[in-house]
Chains A and B, each alone.
Chain A
Amino acid sequence: RKEVEQDPGPFNVPEGATVAFNCTYSNSASQSFFWYRQDCRKEPKLLMSVYSSGNEDGRFTAQLNRASQYISLLIRDSKLSDSATYLCVVLASNSGYALNFGKGTSLLVTP
């Protein structure tokens, strides 16, 4: 299985800032893409799935570029409560159906 790579972080941003996370995947057979959020010492929770046409959920926008094998997450108007680790997750189907997680990018939003 191939790797999923994310920006190393950490990202320290002030409240109200816009921040973007990037993720690249190397398996061209990847077919499902997700962003998860994980708070310290807690279980990951789905933030949003990523669709080919791009999708938006409030302050969060996800983009997928299959040609470049690249996924992004944009957070606008950052809140203190957005502080967490963001995980990029990819499902590839050419070697079973295992899920690949990126190592995560840590975000700290400061007052």
Chain B
Amino acid sequence: EAQVTQNPRYLITVTGKKLTVTCSQNMNHEYMSWYRQDPGLGLRQIYYSMNVEVTDKGDVPEGYKVSRKEKRNFPLILESPSPNQTSLYFCASSLWAAGNSYEQYFGPGTRLTVT
């Protein structure tokens, strides 16, 4: 089954404790990205990657890191989480060709609370 998986689905942590949210897709997609969704602000792109070892900042990259060492995986790293990073996070992937992105397939989301 074609899918995007994220882990963990729920996480409560404390300020400053490094964490990683994993994202994996089995569709051989080139384009992967991370979003956060907050009430009243909608979905905002954090980072995206157009292929292995190619990443770029989205709208709200501060406080986050990513890496793309393999095509299928795109982990999101919070080196020192803060309460303002409490949010619902989505990973997504899509085909990428000729400068166009196609249907984004989203993971189920990770609800992160930083106290």
Contact = CB atoms under 8 A, between A and B. Distances in A.
Report whether chain A binds chain B: yes
Count class of interface residues, chain B: 20 to 34
Interface in B94-114: 96, 99-104, 106-109
A31 B48 contact: no
Interface of B is mostly: strand
Nearest to A99: B45
B56 A104 contact: no
Nearest to A103: B42
Interface in A36-89: 36, 41-46, 49, 87, 89
Contacts of A27: none
Contact of B101 (A32, A41, A87): A32
Interface of B: 31, 33, 35, 40-45, 48, 50, 56-59, 88, 90, 96, 99-104, 106-109
Interface of A: 1, 31-32, 34, 36, 41-46, 49, 87, 89, 91, 93, 96-104
